[in-house]
Structure 1
Amino acid sequence: MNTLSLPQHLMPLLMHIEPLLVPAQLYQLGDEVNVTINNEQLIKIKTATKECSLAFNFIAAENDDLQPTYQVRDQWLAPFDELEVLRDKVVTDSSLILCGYPTTDGCFDLWHHQGQARATYCHHSGASEAQRAMLLVALALDYPIDDALVLARAHARSYQDHNCRAQGELVWPTTAKVFPRAVVSHDSELEQFGCHSNDNALTPFASLDRTKLGLYPVVDSVNWVERVLQLGVTTTQLRIKNLHQSRLEQQIQQAVVAGIACQAQVFINDYWLLAIKHHAYGVHLGQEDLDSADLAAIQQAGLRLGISTHGYYEILRALEYQPSYIALGHIFATSTKEMPSLPQGVSRLALYQKLIGERCPTVAIGGITIERAGKVWRTGVTAVAVVSAITQADDPEAAIAELNNILVANVENQAGGALSDDSIRAL
């Protein structure tokens, strides 16, 4: 059981925290959270994977034991530092989190991530107590800090907009309009953020053929690309790791040729320069690649773009690039790739799909077996990506046929798009 321990002076937050724990359990978003009151100065949170402490508007003390993991500043009285100055402080202090920094037409949330400052922006901050409560609940449910801050801002706005205090109403944020925007390199809000970019705003990447989505095998060799295409697959991805450059380029070129011959959508993972060179159908990039890849060059070459995501913040970030699809993962534990995050599970997947809606095609990936495929498909995703379910099957042809049958059998449920709240809770 996870624990959330509040100092006595924050007991009023219980009126906001307890209603949030109800939908968290109904949606099966994490382990049960036990809330207690302590006689200390810091908020204490313990989950299966982390222990952290937190304080709002922290005042440094000589006692190092009182130094919190996260110092959240969320009260702003003029005069205060310019946003650019505060951004630099966040870069150098990994514990500092700035919430609701006010500007003339909105507010920013800023936090530290691997030596950089991340930020989200929205036009109004919402209710402050509701924001604090969701931040603590999300951390206690083992969401990473990025996602906890996104959920906190979305809940604060939803609470203020819809007065979610009505008894019995589920208050978990699910509608896209209450979520903030992720600030990215080509964002028009960069000037307020203290940055200046020479990048032009990206237009939407080329769209893919949704009728060819559904089953999406991810394979590690051109032989497998050719094999699954011959078995009727119409969308696949070549994901090669640690291969010598000359052999790598040959495989990519062959995969592109095979895709053209079969009129299939073949995506190349990571190697965007080679994908452009050989006129690939599309390229798939991870979050870390978004900072280094020349997205404008990929777009101008006419390639489709898929982006990996692992939670709320990364989804919001991916949406800013208007990709051809967004991958949502990893849904279940997987041994095919080392993952930086916890498995998301089907309930979180359904909420992510509800957030994205019809704005972008989606691909669920990670640990999806034949037995799990139907449940994943019913969340409303556009495609289901599988790896070992095909490549390690005794009979890959039979596995592909069975997976296709599962998707066809559930197409009426899937065709309606994102699930209702009741359906999500029933997953």
Structure 2
Amino acid sequence: MPLLMHIEPLLIPAELYQLGDTVTVTVHSNEPLIHIKTMTKECSLASNFVAADEDCPPPTYQIWDQWLAPFTELAELQQKVATDPSLVVCGFPANDGCVDIWHHQGQARAVYCRHSGASEAQRAMLLVALALDYPLEDAVVLARAHARSYQDHNQRAQGDLIWPTEAKVFPRALTINYHQIKQLGWLTDDQEVAPFAALGSSKLGLYPVLESADWVERVLQLGVKTTQLRIKNPQASDLEHQIQQAIVAGELAQAQVFINDYWPLAIKHHAYGVHLGQEDLDSANLVAIQQAGLRLGISTHGYYEILRALEYQPSYIALGHIFATLTKEMPSLPQGVSRLALYQKLIGKRAPTVAIGGITIERAAKVWRTGVTGVAVVSAITQADDPAIAVIALRSILAPKVEIMTAGVCDDDKHYAL
């Protein structure tokens, strides 16, 4: 019952902001596990024990969140989680704060928070976020942020619309760039990297992502000032030629042209910038990119990846994919405009942002109203009957914002005006 008292108030803002499908809660007093079923997954959770009974299959996630001194070493827990995909460590005391750890593709990932917050609030948000189809890493991050927010504001009334939105309540992603990572005892082989160069213009506006250098030249001739060359086939015979062609076109047009993925060639030919996906952060030489003076854009798909990207202080952060898209196979679900607005609020002015994924001319305005500084499009231009007209239409929609202070919510999109 104490846990339910925390869950129910969280379902109100989740529904108001349209963060996922409607969640229903059913209580079975003799059920040892918590079961969660969504449109895309089913999982079960157990807290601080292992279900060994043959009639009770092992849980999907084994949550450890109760700790008594003396504490084990953080590196030991890191290794345990790296070898056990079911283990999730929450609130482990470390260096006057706490660490949350989970498994990701054979590795352990973690966030650190100086204040653990309220434990019941943390457990409730973990369950609610999973029920809203957030991935585990985002559920863990949201749970810690809510625990902090709940404790800071002492929001105990059942009717309160409580959802973590302030950057100060969110934890820090444990990367080599976190200054206290060695004191915590978290092990990593990465190399610390300095902040990346700022964009020439942070008001990105229209940001076409294009599959050939010819298309890059074409949009630059239409007055576009920021674009990206994204060639999907690394075995393309003219790959290096196209990259060089796009870079030269950008220099002639005095535009910001980013090269997707192929950072060694981008460095070789002195590109303006590079765009990397999350998986590339583990393999790319970020130090070499930064020392070459290239700008860096990083793709993100949720709360944890945003926190991770912020640690590297990139030139901009891409947020996606917002709507379903056919231009690229995506491992995650569409984020939607409501979640996009929350991500933008979390980032604030710490980095320019670009929304990407399935954005059409018809959808561009409501995406723009979330506060992002750029909107990336692909087929809205490349498959338009007249690309020049499409560029004009999009640029008129993505005109510089006029900031208006208001105490209310906007009439037609109140579910994400936060």
Q: TM range, normalised to the smaller chain?
A: over 0.9
Helix, strand or coil: the match of 1:404? helix
Indicate whether 1:258 and 2:249 are aligned. Answer: yes
Match of 1:4 in 2: none
Deviation per residue, 1:113-161 (Å, 9 max, x gap): 0000000001010000000000000000000000000000000000011
Match of 1:8 in 2: none
Structure 1 residue runs of 4+, over 6 Å off?
none
Q: Contact 2:341 / 2:371 at 8 angstroms: preserved in 1? A: yes
Indicate whether 1:37 and 2:27 are aligned. Answer: yes
Distance 2:186 2:351 in 1: 30
Distance 2:377 2:130 in 1: 30
Distance 1:199 1:236 in 2: 29
Q: Which residue identity is paired with 2:363?
A: R
Indicate whether 1:228 and 2:219 are aligned. Answer: yes
> With structure 2 as the length reference, what TM-score do the two structures score?
0.95
Q: Given the superposition, is the C-alpha separation of residues 211 and 326 from structure 1 closer, same or farther in structure 2, using an over 3 Å criterion?
A: closer
Helix, strand or coil: the match of 1:283? strand
Greater displacement, 363-372 / 82-91: 82-91
Greater relative contact order (Cα 8 A, min sep 6): structure 1 or 2?
2
| Richer in helix (by share) | 1
> With structure 1 as the length reference, what TM-score do the two structures score?
0.93
Match of 1:358 in 2: 349
Q: Contact 1:374 / 1:406 at 8 angstroms: preserved in 2? A: yes
Q: Contact 1:332 / 1:368 at 8 angstroms: preserved in 2? A: yes
Q: 2:60 aligns with which of 69, 81, 88?
A: 69
Q: 1:24 aligns with which of 7, 14, 29?
A: 14
Distance 1:83 1:407 in 2: 47
Q: 1:209 aligns with which of 178, 200, 207?
A: 200
Distance 2:181 2:53 in 1: 37
Deviation per residue, 1:196-255 (Å, 9 max, x gap): 54723x221000023651000000000000000001100000000115355100000000
Correspondence list, 1:220-369, <5 A? 220-244=211-235, 246-369=237-360
Deviation per residue, 1:143-181 (Å, 9 max, x gap): 000000000000000001111114543210000000000
Q: Contact 2:18 / 2:415 at 8 angstroms: preserved in 1? A: no
Deviation per residue, 1:258-286 (Å, 9 max, x gap): 00000000000000000000000000000
Aligned length, in residue pairs = 412
Deviation per residue, 1:347-392 (Å, 9 max, x gap): 0000000000000000000000000000000000000000000000
Q: 1:144 aligns with which of 135, 152, 158?
A: 135
Q: Contact 2:50 / 2:58 at 8 angstroms: preserved in 1? A: no
Indicate whether 1:411 and 2:381 are aligned. Answer: no
Helix, strand or coil: the match of 1:188? coil
Q: 2:172 aligns with which of 168, 181, 184?
A: 181
Correspondence list, 1:59-98, <5 A? 59-63=50-54, 65-98=56-89
Helix, strand or coil: the match of 2:156? coil
Q: Contact 1:380 / 1:416 at 8 angstroms: preserved in 2? A: no
Q: Contact 1:212 / 1:235 at 8 angstroms: preserved in 2? A: no
Distance 1:25 1:420 in 2: 21
Q: Which residue identity is paired with 1:103?
A: A
Q: 1:388 aligns with which of 375, 379, 388?
A: 379
Match of 1:193 in 2: 185
Deviation per residue, 1:54-100 (Å, 9 max, x gap): 01112342426331000000000122321111111101110000000
Q: Contact 2:323 / 2:357 at 8 angstroms: preserved in 1? A: yes
Distance 1:198 1:292 in 2: 10
Match of 2:161 in 1: 170
Q: Given the superposition, is the C-alpha separation of residues 229 and 196 from structure 1 closer, same or farther in structure 2, using an over 3 Å criterion?
A: closer
Helix, strand or coil: the match of 1:215? strand
Q: Which residue identity is paired with 2:331?
A: P
Helix, strand or coil: the match of 1:23? helix
Helix, strand or coil: the match of 2:258? strand
Q: Which residue identity is paired with 1:185?
A: I
Q: CA-atom RMSD, angstroms? A: 1.7
Deviation per residue, 1:21-56 (Å, 9 max, x gap): 000001000000011101310000000000000011
Distance 2:132 2:126 in 1: 10
Q: 1:134 aligns with which of 125, 129, 135?
A: 125
Match of 1:15 in 2: 5
Helix, strand or coil: the match of 2:27? strand
Percent sequence identity over matched residues? 73
Q: Which residue identity is paired with 2:344?
A: Q
Shift of 1:411: 2.4
